Amino acid sequence: MTASEVVRIEGASRSFGDVKAVNGLSLTLNAGEVMGFLGTNGAGKTTTIKMMLGLLRPSEGSVVVLGGDPTDPSVRAKIGYMPEVAYYYPYLTARELLSFYGGICGMDAKTVRERTDELLEAVGLADAAKRPLKTYSKGMLQRAGVAQALLNDPSLLVLDEPFTGLDPLARIHFRELMRSLRDSGKSIFFSSHELGETELLCDKVAVMKSGRAVYQGPVRQLAGDGERNLERLFLDVLEKGGAA
């Protein structure tokens, strides 16, 4: 693993019984890059993300994140994760949620308070900070999810379907937030079905099909001469099962 590599997955496979959810996957994400992780439902995206977070161990191969094993809590201290389904403790307010996760990250109370104020403002939840999460809309929960992922100022952000449930305005806001995070040197890995957003945000993409990466490369290369959009190319790649 080179110094600039944030994620290095080599020949990783993960089976559940007879089903091979991920099959010999290899990919790398470098510092400051934004990588889109595409694929149909059941292609192995979520299993890959779980291996990156140390929630699952690969059956074969290796997953190295930020130079270490992600099952080690000290490695996870530098990762921010936002799940696809943004369900959090419904009886907590957004402020209490961030305070709770701050404690879990081992942050001191003062830092948690400061980060909480900053993040609630950044994701546009400052006015709703004292409302229980059960009163939040799906988009608001998604924004609370972004805030909790950023709480520990992670070097790597792993986002599972981050655009789900966001209205157009929130999407623009979120896209700008992602760009500013990338500009501040953070690496971002996100899975998505939103090809338009992926095209706008990513430096490179990986396309998964049946547990294998059937394409990996820069978005610009995938888009070629600019006459084809990502959607067309995504379909081509999936149909051919190989490079576009």
Partner 1 sequence: MRLFFRQAKALVKLSFVELWRRNDVFALLVLAVALMVPLSLSSPFGAAGASRYLDESALLLTWGFSLVIALGTGARLFPPEFESRTIYPLLAKPISRGSLLLGKYAGAVAASWSALLLFYALFAGSVLLRGGSLSSELAQGVVLHMAFVALAVAVALAGSLVTTPSANLAISGIALVSMFFFGRRLPEYADAVSAPLSWLVDLAYAVGPHAEFFDMRQRLIHGWGAVDAAVFFAVLLYAAFYVASLLGFAALALKRKRL
Note the residues at the interface with partner 1 (CB under 8 A): 16, 50, 53-56, 73-74, 76-77, 79, 81-83, 85, 87-89, 91-92, 96, 99-108, 145, 148-149, 152, 158
Q: Measured from the CB of residue 106, what is the shortest distance to partner 1 in angstroms?
A: 4
Q: Hey, what amino acid is at 184?
A: S
In the complex, what is the shortest distance from the CB of residue 87 to partner 1, in angstroms, rounded to a whole number?
4
- CB-nearer residue toward partner 1: 88 or 136: 88
Query: What are the CB-based long-range contacts (under 8 Å, 24+) for 93-97?
Result: 93/129, 93/130, 93/131, 93/132, 93/133, 94/120, 94/125, 94/128, 94/129, 94/131, 94/133, 94/136, 94/144, 94/147, 95/120, 95/129, 95/130, 97/133, 97/144, 97/148
Residue identified by tokens 């924004």 is 143
Residue number, 87 or 185, with CB nearest to partner 1: 87
Residue 150 CB, nearest distance to partner 1 (Å)? 12
Least distance to partner 1, CB of residue 103, Å: 3
Residue 70 token pair: 């992600």
Nearer to partner 1, 17 or 168 (CB): 17
The values of phi and psi at residue 58, to 5°, are: -65, 145
User: Min. distance of Cβ 191 from partner 1 in angstroms?
Assistant: 13
A 10 A CB-CB count for 225 gives 5
Of 20 and 50, nearer to partner 1 (C-beta) is 50
The residue among 56 and 128 lying less far from partner 1, judged by its C-beta, is: 56
